[in-house]
Protein backbone atom coordinates (compact mmCIF):
# COMPACT_ATOMS: atom_id res chain seq x y z
CA UNK A 1 0.00 0.00 0.00
CA UNK A 2 1.07 3.49 -0.73
CA UNK A 3 1.68 5.91 2.08
CA UNK A 4 -1.62 7.04 3.56
CA UNK A 5 -2.55 10.71 3.47
CA UNK A 6 -3.64 12.21 6.79
CA UNK A 7 -4.82 15.73 7.50
CA UNK A 8 -4.80 17.14 11.03
CA UNK A 9 -4.90 20.81 12.10
CA UNK A 10 -1.47 22.49 12.01
CA UNK A 11 -1.80 23.21 15.69
CA UNK A 12 -4.33 22.57 18.42
CA UNK A 13 -4.90 23.52 22.05
CA UNK A 14 -5.67 21.09 24.86
CA UNK A 15 -9.41 20.49 24.89
CA UNK A 16 -9.90 21.42 21.21
CA UNK A 17 -12.15 19.29 19.08
CA UNK A 18 -10.24 18.40 15.91
CA UNK A 19 -11.23 16.53 12.77
CA UNK A 20 -8.80 13.97 11.38
CA UNK A 21 -9.17 13.14 7.70
CA UNK A 22 -7.50 10.07 6.23
CA UNK A 23 -7.15 8.55 2.78
CA UNK A 24 -5.28 5.43 1.73
CA UNK A 25 -4.82 3.89 -1.71
CA UNK A 26 -6.42 0.47 -1.84
CA UNK A 27 -8.42 -1.43 -4.47
CA UNK A 28 -11.06 -2.63 -1.93
CA UNK A 29 -11.79 -5.64 -4.15
CA UNK A 30 -15.30 -6.76 -3.21
CA UNK A 31 -15.02 -10.49 -3.92
CA UNK A 32 -18.18 -10.11 -6.02
CA UNK A 33 -16.52 -9.41 -9.37
CA UNK A 34 -15.33 -11.85 -12.02
CA UNK A 35 -12.41 -11.58 -14.39
CA UNK A 36 -12.99 -12.02 -18.17
CA UNK A 37 -12.49 -15.81 -17.80
CA UNK A 38 -15.35 -15.97 -15.29
CA UNK A 39 -13.17 -16.62 -12.25
CA UNK A 40 -14.27 -14.75 -9.12
CA UNK A 41 -11.69 -12.17 -8.11
CA UNK A 42 -10.88 -12.84 -4.46
CA UNK A 43 -11.98 -10.35 -1.83
CA UNK A 44 -9.17 -8.02 -0.76
CA UNK A 45 -10.20 -5.10 1.41
CA UNK A 46 -9.05 -3.06 4.37
CA UNK A 47 -11.44 -4.42 7.00
CA UNK A 48 -10.32 -2.43 10.03
CA UNK A 49 -9.10 1.07 10.79
CA UNK A 50 -8.00 2.01 14.30
CA UNK A 51 -7.04 5.44 15.63
CA UNK A 52 -5.28 5.75 18.98
CA UNK A 53 -3.80 8.70 20.82
CA UNK A 54 -1.11 8.20 23.42
CA UNK A 55 -1.75 4.44 23.26
CA UNK A 56 -5.49 4.80 23.99
CA UNK A 57 -8.06 3.88 21.36
CA UNK A 58 -10.14 6.84 20.19
CA UNK A 59 -11.99 5.57 17.14
CA UNK A 60 -12.35 2.35 15.19
CA UNK A 61 -13.99 1.55 11.85
CA UNK A 62 -14.96 -1.89 10.61
CA UNK A 63 -15.25 -1.77 6.84
CA UNK A 64 -17.14 -4.06 4.46
CA UNK A 65 -16.74 -4.40 0.68
CA UNK A 66 -19.38 -1.67 0.27
CA UNK A 67 -16.78 0.97 1.16
CA UNK A 68 -15.35 2.63 -1.95
CA UNK A 69 -11.85 2.00 -3.30
CA UNK A 70 -9.16 4.24 -1.76
CA UNK A 71 -11.11 4.49 1.48
CA UNK A 72 -11.60 7.94 2.98
CA UNK A 73 -12.31 8.01 6.71
CA UNK A 74 -12.81 11.15 8.76
CA UNK A 75 -13.50 11.33 12.48
CA UNK A 76 -13.13 13.63 15.50
CA UNK A 77 -10.96 13.72 18.60
CA UNK A 78 -10.87 15.93 21.70
CA UNK A 79 -7.19 16.83 22.21
CA UNK A 80 -6.22 15.47 25.66
CA UNK A 81 -2.71 16.92 25.58
CA UNK A 82 0.51 16.57 23.59
CA UNK A 83 1.17 13.17 22.06
CA UNK A 84 1.26 10.94 19.02
CA UNK A 85 -1.71 9.97 16.94
CA UNK A 86 -1.33 6.40 15.72
CA UNK A 87 -3.44 5.25 12.78
CA UNK A 88 -3.56 1.64 11.55
CA UNK A 89 -5.18 0.13 8.48
CA UNK A 90 -5.52 -3.66 8.49
CA UNK A 91 -6.12 -5.69 5.33
CA UNK A 92 -7.84 -9.09 4.85
CA UNK A 93 -4.36 -10.62 4.47
CA UNK A 94 -3.42 -9.33 7.94
CA UNK A 95 -1.06 -6.74 6.53
CA UNK A 96 -1.02 -3.62 8.65
CA UNK A 97 -0.09 -0.11 7.59
CA UNK A 98 0.71 2.21 10.48
CA UNK A 99 1.09 5.97 10.38
CA UNK A 100 2.28 8.01 13.36
CA UNK A 101 1.62 11.73 13.55
CA UNK A 102 2.96 14.05 16.20
CA UNK A 103 0.21 16.49 17.11
CA UNK A 104 1.40 20.08 17.49
CA UNK A 105 -0.26 20.99 20.78
CA UNK A 106 0.29 24.61 21.85
CA UNK B 1 -17.20 14.57 -25.11
CA UNK B 2 -20.15 12.69 -26.60
CA UNK B 3 -18.05 9.56 -26.97
CA UNK B 4 -17.03 9.83 -23.34
CA UNK B 5 -20.66 9.93 -22.23
CA UNK B 6 -21.50 6.78 -24.20
CA UNK B 7 -18.47 5.00 -22.81
CA UNK B 8 -19.45 5.85 -19.30
CA UNK B 9 -23.01 4.65 -19.86
CA UNK B 10 -21.76 1.37 -21.28
CA UNK B 11 -19.47 1.00 -18.34
CA UNK B 12 -22.21 1.63 -15.81
CA UNK B 13 -24.66 -0.70 -17.57
CA UNK B 14 -21.96 -3.36 -17.55
CA UNK B 15 -21.27 -2.68 -13.92
CA UNK B 16 -24.98 -2.96 -13.11
CA UNK B 17 -25.20 -6.33 -14.81
CA UNK B 18 -22.14 -7.45 -12.88
CA UNK B 19 -23.71 -6.26 -9.65
CA UNK B 20 -26.92 -8.16 -10.40
CA UNK B 21 -24.89 -11.29 -11.07
CA UNK B 22 -22.91 -10.70 -7.90
CA UNK B 23 -26.15 -10.36 -5.95
CA UNK B 24 -27.27 -13.73 -7.31
CA UNK B 25 -23.94 -15.27 -6.40
CA UNK B 26 -24.08 -13.77 -2.93
CA UNK B 27 -27.48 -15.37 -2.39
CA UNK B 28 -26.39 -18.80 -3.50
CA UNK B 29 -23.18 -18.79 -1.50
CA UNK B 30 -24.75 -17.46 1.72
CA UNK B 31 -23.48 -18.91 4.94
CA UNK B 32 -19.79 -18.96 4.03
CA UNK B 33 -16.70 -17.51 5.69
CA UNK B 34 -17.62 -13.94 6.76
CA UNK B 35 -21.36 -14.52 7.18
CA UNK B 36 -22.58 -11.01 6.43
CA UNK B 37 -26.26 -10.39 7.30
CA UNK B 38 -28.57 -11.59 4.51
CA UNK B 39 -31.08 -8.78 4.96
CA UNK B 40 -31.52 -5.41 6.65
CA UNK B 41 -33.95 -6.96 9.16
CA UNK B 42 -31.41 -9.59 10.14
CA UNK B 43 -28.68 -6.95 10.48
CA UNK B 44 -30.86 -4.69 12.64
CA UNK B 45 -31.99 -7.56 14.86
CA UNK B 46 -28.35 -8.53 15.42
CA UNK B 47 -27.54 -5.03 16.68
CA UNK B 48 -30.69 -3.99 18.50
CA UNK B 49 -32.38 -7.24 19.48
CA UNK B 50 -35.98 -6.38 20.28
CA UNK B 51 -35.21 -2.74 21.18
CA UNK B 52 -37.08 -0.01 19.31
CA UNK B 53 -34.90 2.81 18.00
CA UNK B 54 -35.99 6.41 18.28
CA UNK B 55 -35.62 9.00 15.53
CA UNK B 56 -34.03 12.40 15.73
CA UNK B 57 -30.72 13.58 17.23
CA UNK B 58 -29.05 11.45 14.56
CA UNK B 59 -28.22 12.76 11.12
CA UNK B 60 -27.32 10.80 8.03
CA UNK B 61 -25.91 13.14 5.42
CA UNK B 62 -25.91 11.93 1.83
CA UNK B 63 -26.20 13.48 -1.59
CA UNK B 64 -29.78 13.41 -2.90
CA UNK B 65 -28.53 12.20 -6.23
CA UNK B 66 -25.35 10.14 -6.60
CA UNK B 67 -24.08 10.36 -10.15
CA UNK B 68 -21.40 7.78 -9.51
CA UNK B 69 -22.52 4.79 -7.49
CA UNK B 70 -18.89 3.79 -6.99
CA UNK B 71 -18.18 6.54 -4.54
CA UNK B 72 -21.04 8.11 -2.57
CA UNK B 73 -19.92 10.33 0.32
CA UNK B 74 -21.75 10.08 3.63
CA UNK B 75 -21.50 11.55 7.12
CA UNK B 76 -23.11 10.20 10.28
CA UNK B 77 -23.53 12.60 13.19
CA UNK B 78 -25.32 12.09 16.48
CA UNK B 79 -26.10 14.81 18.99
CA UNK B 80 -24.31 13.53 22.09
CA UNK B 81 -22.24 15.09 24.91
CA UNK B 82 -19.72 12.22 24.51
CA UNK B 83 -19.04 11.93 28.23
CA UNK B 84 -18.16 8.72 30.07
CA UNK B 85 -21.79 8.48 31.27
CA UNK B 86 -23.53 9.47 28.04
CA UNK B 87 -21.90 8.76 24.68
CA UNK B 88 -22.43 7.07 21.35
CA UNK B 89 -20.74 3.68 21.35
CA UNK B 90 -21.16 2.76 17.70
CA UNK B 91 -22.81 3.65 14.43
CA UNK B 92 -23.76 1.21 11.70
CA UNK B 93 -24.67 1.99 8.11
CA UNK B 94 -26.58 -0.24 5.71
CA UNK B 95 -27.42 -0.23 2.01
CA UNK B 96 -30.30 -2.75 1.78
CA UNK B 97 -30.21 -3.02 -2.03
CA UNK B 98 -26.47 -3.75 -2.25
CA UNK B 99 -25.14 -7.32 -2.72
CA UNK B 100 -23.89 -7.07 0.87
CA UNK B 101 -26.20 -5.08 3.14
CA UNK B 102 -23.74 -3.92 5.81
CA UNK B 103 -21.36 -1.15 4.76
CA UNK B 104 -19.43 -0.13 7.86
CA UNK B 105 -19.43 0.16 11.64
CA UNK B 106 -17.79 3.04 13.48
CA UNK B 107 -16.89 2.73 17.16
CA UNK B 108 -16.49 5.83 19.30
CA UNK B 109 -15.11 6.56 22.76
CA UNK B 110 -15.57 9.58 25.05
CA UNK B 111 -12.12 10.65 23.71
CA UNK B 112 -13.78 11.14 20.31
CA UNK B 113 -15.35 14.36 21.60
CA UNK B 114 -17.93 14.34 18.82
CA UNK B 115 -20.01 11.45 17.53
CA UNK B 116 -19.39 11.93 13.84
CA UNK B 117 -17.67 10.00 11.08
CA UNK B 118 -17.47 10.29 7.30
CA UNK B 119 -16.55 7.92 4.51
CA UNK B 120 -17.55 6.94 0.97
CA UNK B 121 -19.56 3.92 -0.11
CA UNK B 122 -20.57 1.95 -3.18
CA UNK B 123 -24.24 1.84 -4.11
CA UNK B 124 -25.64 -0.66 -6.60
CA UNK B 125 -28.81 1.32 -7.26
CA UNK B 126 -31.31 3.86 -5.90
CA UNK B 127 -32.25 2.87 -2.36
CA UNK B 128 -33.02 3.92 1.21
CA UNK B 129 -29.83 4.02 3.28
CA UNK B 130 -30.34 3.14 6.94
CA UNK B 131 -28.09 4.05 9.87
CA UNK B 132 -28.28 3.03 13.53
CA UNK B 133 -26.47 4.57 16.49
CA UNK B 134 -25.96 2.56 19.68
CA UNK B 135 -25.86 4.72 22.82
CA UNK B 136 -24.04 4.02 26.10
CA UNK B 137 -27.38 3.76 27.96
CA UNK B 138 -28.47 0.85 25.76
CA UNK B 139 -30.83 2.91 23.61
CA UNK B 140 -30.70 3.21 19.83
CA UNK B 141 -31.22 5.97 17.27
CA UNK B 142 -32.12 5.39 13.66
CA UNK B 143 -31.88 7.53 10.53
CA UNK B 144 -32.98 6.81 6.99
CA UNK B 145 -32.43 8.59 3.70
CA UNK B 146 -33.07 7.91 0.04
CA UNK B 147 -30.24 8.26 -2.46
CA UNK B 148 -31.01 8.30 -6.13
CA UNK B 149 -28.21 6.59 -8.03
CA UNK B 150 -28.01 7.84 -11.59
CA UNK B 151 -27.51 5.35 -14.39
CA UNK B 152 -26.00 6.95 -17.42
CA UNK B 153 -25.48 10.66 -17.74
CA UNK B 154 -29.05 11.99 -18.08
CA UNK B 155 -30.40 12.06 -14.54
CA UNK B 156 -32.51 8.93 -15.07
State the best of B112, B125, B129 to mutate against chain A, taking most chain A CBs within 10 Å: B112
User: What value does the mean pLDDT of chain B take?
Assistant: 83
Query: 1.10.240.10, 2.60.40.10, 2.60.40.1190, 3.40.50.2300: which CATH number matches A5-103?
Result: 2.60.40.10
Q: Within its chain, how far is the Cα of B82 from the centroid? A: 23
The answer to whether A49 and B106 have CB atoms below 8 angstroms apart is no
pLDDT tens for B50-65 read 999 998 899 999 999 9
pLDDT of B124: 93
The answer to whether A13 and A104 have CB atoms below 8 angstroms apart is no
- The class of domain B2-149 in CATH terms is mainly beta
| Interface pTM, i.e. ipTM | 0.96
pTM over 0.90, yes/no: no
Under the banding of pLDDT at 50, 70 and 90, the label for residue B29 is very low
Interface residue ranges in chain A relative to chain B, Cβ cutoff 8 Å? 17, 30, 32-34, 40, 53, 56-69, 71-78, 80
State the best of B82, B122, B129 to mutate against chain A, taking most chain A CBs within 10 Å: B122
Tell me the chain B residues in contact with residue A34 when contact means C-beta distances shorter than 8 Å: 18, 21
- Nearest alpha carbon to residue B153 among B65, B71, B58, B53: B65
Domain definitions of chain B by residue range = 2-149
Percent of chain B at pLDDT > 90 equals 70
Domain definitions of chain A by residue range = 5-103
pLDDT tens for B123-150 read 999 999 999 999 999 999 999 999 999 8
Mean pLDDT by 10-residue block, N- to C-terminus, for chain A (106 residues)?
88 97 96 92 97 97 97 98 97 97 94
Amino acid sequence: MAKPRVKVPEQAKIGDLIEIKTLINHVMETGQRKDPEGTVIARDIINTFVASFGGKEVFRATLQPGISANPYIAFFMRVPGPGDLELAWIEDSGKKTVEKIKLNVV
Amino acid sequence: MRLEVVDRRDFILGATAATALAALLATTSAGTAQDPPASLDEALKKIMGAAKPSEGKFLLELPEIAENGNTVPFTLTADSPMTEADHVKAMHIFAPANPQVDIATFQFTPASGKASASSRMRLAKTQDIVAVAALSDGKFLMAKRTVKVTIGGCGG
